[in-house]
Amino acid sequence: MKMCGRFNRKFPLPLLLGLTLAVPAFGQPDVELPQRSVIQGAVAKIGPAVVQVETIGGQDQVGGLRVTQQPRTGLIIDRQGFVITAQFNLAHQPTTVFVRTADGKRMPAKVVAQNHSRKITLLKTETSLELAAEPVLVDRFTLAVGQTAIAVGRSMDLQQANVSVGIISASHRIWDKAVQTDAGISPHNFGGPLIDLEGRVIGVLVPLSPQGSGPADGTEWYDSGIGFAVPVTDWELEQMRAGNDLHDGLLGVTFKEDQGYASRPVIAACPGNSPAGRAGLKPGDEITHVN
C-alpha cells in the first residue's frame, strides 16, 4: 500500500492506466474553426433563397407512402418569383401551394411546369421575391468527385436552415441524371439545394433510383449515405419557364433479345412513326455507333 501511495504521486493516473489524453496547449486555436466558418458562410449565402413549400389538400398516399402536411423545401432561383423544388413534394397533387420565405412572408404559388425525367417542379409565386442576390449556379462539368458538398433544407424550422455536410461521391449517376452525395438527405431536404463551399448551387435534391421512376422511388435510401441532386445544367429552365412539361425521351426500337452490352444490338422492331423510324432506322439494322 505504501508503494502504491508513492507510485500515485510520481505518475499521473492516465499514464498508470495506459491512456493518452489530448490536451490542447493554452491559447491554441481550434482546428475545426476555419472549416466551420467556411460552411457557415456558404449556408448564409444561400440561406435567403431557401424556402418552405407548404401544401394543402391532395391525396393521402403517394407510391405507398403516407403523405404528411409538413412543409418541404424549395429554392428561389430569381426575383421574378420562380422556385424550383422536388416533384416528390407535390406528387400528392395538392389543391393549394404556398411558399414561405425565411423572413416569414407567405404567398400563394402555382405549378408552372414539371420535368418528369429529373423529377423536379417549377413553381411561381404571385408576387416577386426579395433577394439581395440571386443564387449562383454551378456548371456540372466543373464539379470534382471528392469535393465538399452541403445539403440545405428549410422544413423543420423557418428561422434556421437544416444542414448536412458530405462530399460529391460521383458526378454521373442514375443514367447520367444526377450527382451523388453522401451528405445526409431526408424527405424534408428534397427540393433544397446541394451547394459548394462558396455557397453556389450544384443541384436540387430529389429522390432517384435506378430501379424505378415513380414519385416515391429513391425515398427508401433516406439517411443511408446515398443522396442525389439534379445538376443545374439539366434543369432545362427556359422550357420550364415557358410552361412546357418535360418527359423521358423515346427512341422507338426493340432489340432482338436482351443481351445487355455483350453482343451486337440488332433492331427487331421499329415502328415507322417512332422517332427512330422517322430517322430511317429499320428492323434488321445493327447499331454500330451512337452520337
**What pLDDT, in 10s, does the model give residues 247-282?**
887 888 888 776 555 677 888 888 888 888 898 989
The residue with greater pLDDT, 258 or 144, is: 144
How far is Cα 134 from Cα 25, in angstroms, rounded to an integer? 44
Cell, residue 20: 493518452
- Under the banding of pLDDT at 50, 70 and 90, the label for residue 8 is very low
How many angstroms from the chain centroid is the CA of residue 197?
16
Q: What are 85's strand-pairing partners?
A: 74, 121
Distance CA 52, CA 189 (A): 10
Give the lowest-confidence range in 9-13, 31-35, 259-263, 264-268: 9-13
179 in Cβ contact with 140 (< 8 Å)? yes
3-state secondary structure 265-290: CEEEECCCCCHHHHCCCCCCCECCCC
Strands 148-153 and 193-195: antiparallel
69 close to 56: Cβ distance less than 8 angstroms: yes
Joined together, the cell numbers standing for residue 100 give 414561405
Q: State pLDDT tens for residues 146-200.
A: 999 999 999 888 888 999 999 999 999 998 999 999 999 988 889 999 999 999 9
pTM beyond cutoff 0.85? no
Note the Cα 128 to chain centre separation in Å. 25
SS3 118: coil
Asked if residue 145 has pLDDT above 60, the reply is yes
User: What percent of the chain stands above pLDDT 90?
Assistant: 51
pLDDT value at 29 more than 50: yes
Give the number of other CB atoms < 10 A from CB of residue 38: 15
State the Cα angle at 212 between 206 and 218, rounded to 5°.
35
For 275, phi then psi, to 5°, come to -55, -40
